[in-house]
Amino acid sequence: MRVIVLGADGYLGWPTSMHLSARGHDVVAVDSLVRRRWDTVCGTHSLLPIARMERRVARWKAVTGRTIEWVKLDLRNRADLTELITRYRPDAVVHFAEQRSAPYSMIGAAQAVETQYNNVIGTLNLLFALRESAPTCHLVKLGTMGEYGTPNIDIEEGFIEIEHNGRRDRLPYPKQPGSFYHLSKVHDSHNIMFACRIWGLRSTDLNQGVVYGAQTPETELHPELRTRFDYDDIWGTVLNRYCVQAAIGRPLTVYGRGGQTRGFIEIRDTVRCIELTVENPPQPGEYRVFNQFTEQFSVGELAERVRAARRVHGLETRIEHVPNPRTEAEEHYYNAKHQKLIDLGLQPHYLQDTLIESVIQLVEAHRHRVRPETIDPRVSWRDGARGRLARPKARRPAAAGSAA
């Protein structure tokens, strides 16, 4: 198939582009490179140096003989996006091109508006471009399990059967988003579902859990093919943060009581899920939802897992509970269904102590690049950044041939 990957410069977009190319698909990688600008704004960076997109695609061709076409484009420009879809007429579009940080969206009004405008308007522009120029294209949209929140009932995959006053219906599962970022994803879901219903488009919404790790078979082929590894308070995920803290001898900081439970997935399973979804499209007019994760953990359990992995090597790691910057339930019921991708053939990689240790070893190999001052939370859900998001003064490490 011809597949356009939007947001191809990102943490998941680049490994997905390579993964689909390696399996014979004709991949067009599209990005505005805004994620790199946001690093500058927030004083953050990838622990692993990442190459420029031009270097990435050139190295991919040199290593594999396969071509990934690179296009710089902003989805907020409807004319350019429509021209892109018209030129390539893709069989599938994988849509990662969104501001994906809940903390960033909660810094203040400017960041909340930027998040909603970038995500919602970009997706609307894409829907109109597909209707006009590629109405049979399969839109694969990366959503988030955070759309659901933490209800006191089981979380279904997108839809729920409801009986009310003696009548039954199948309705979208109720959403309880936890940030302006998560709200933007809910708006996207509703817009996409509406477009499928009225225009006959086809789409799969992948409500993904928290992703960890940074290594896939493709990223390991050459240093210039690596993807990002974020560990800071704005872009980092909890397991990555714990592994960095363990590697540099800092306490593992658990927000609040630590009972916040979420779905988690390893990066190799993420790219496989995208592949399975692309190669098994829905029917015209169908909007479907897959919950894309493999295991559930509380943030406190994850901290204990990291500490146990360290103890195997005779290293003691302290766990420290800190005030929670987020407004969220710290102890709650959580049971989410995630069967549909398993039915398509996903064989999950489960979190093992050896995998935790491999991530820590990856961090240790680049510990000279760790910026400890970016780990502690700087953004409060109630008060925003309160002027504390000034760019850290630590020197930005550089690597030959890299852009970060």
181 among known catalytic residues: yes
- CA–CA dist 31, 22 (Å, integer): 20
**Greatest CA span in the chain, whole angstroms?**
67
Helices (H), 200-279: 238-247, 267-278
* 144 assigned to active site: yes
**Cβ atoms of residues 51 and 401 within 8 Å:** yes
Backbone angles phi, psi at 166, to 5 degrees: 85, 5
| CA–CA separation, 83 and 70 (whole Å) | 15
For the chain, first and last CA: distance in Å?
32
* Catalytic residue selected from 16, 44, 115, 144: 144
| Range 164-167 contact pairs with CB under 8 angstroms and sequence separation of 24 or more | none
Q: Which residues pair with 262 in a beta bridge?
A: 297
Single out the catalytic residue among 181, 231, 287, 334. Answer: 181
376: which DSSP letter?
A: S
Q: Are 178 and 204 in contact (CB under 8 A)?
A: no
**57 closest CA partner among 229, 271, 225:** 225
Q: What is the CA radius of gyration of the chain?
A: 20
Element (H, E) at 93: strand 92-95
Residue 261's SS3 state is strand
CA distance linking residue 138 with residue 275, whole number of Å: 13
Catalytic residue among 11, 16, 115, 185: 185
* Helix (H/G/I), strand (E/B), else coil: 22: helix
Neighbour order of strands in the sheet with 138-144: 68-72, 26-31, 2-6, 92-95, 138-144, 202-208, 287-292
Residues ≥6 apart with Cβ < 8 Å to 141: 95, 123, 188, 189, 192, 203, 204, 205, 206
The residues assigned a catalytic role are: 144, 181, 185
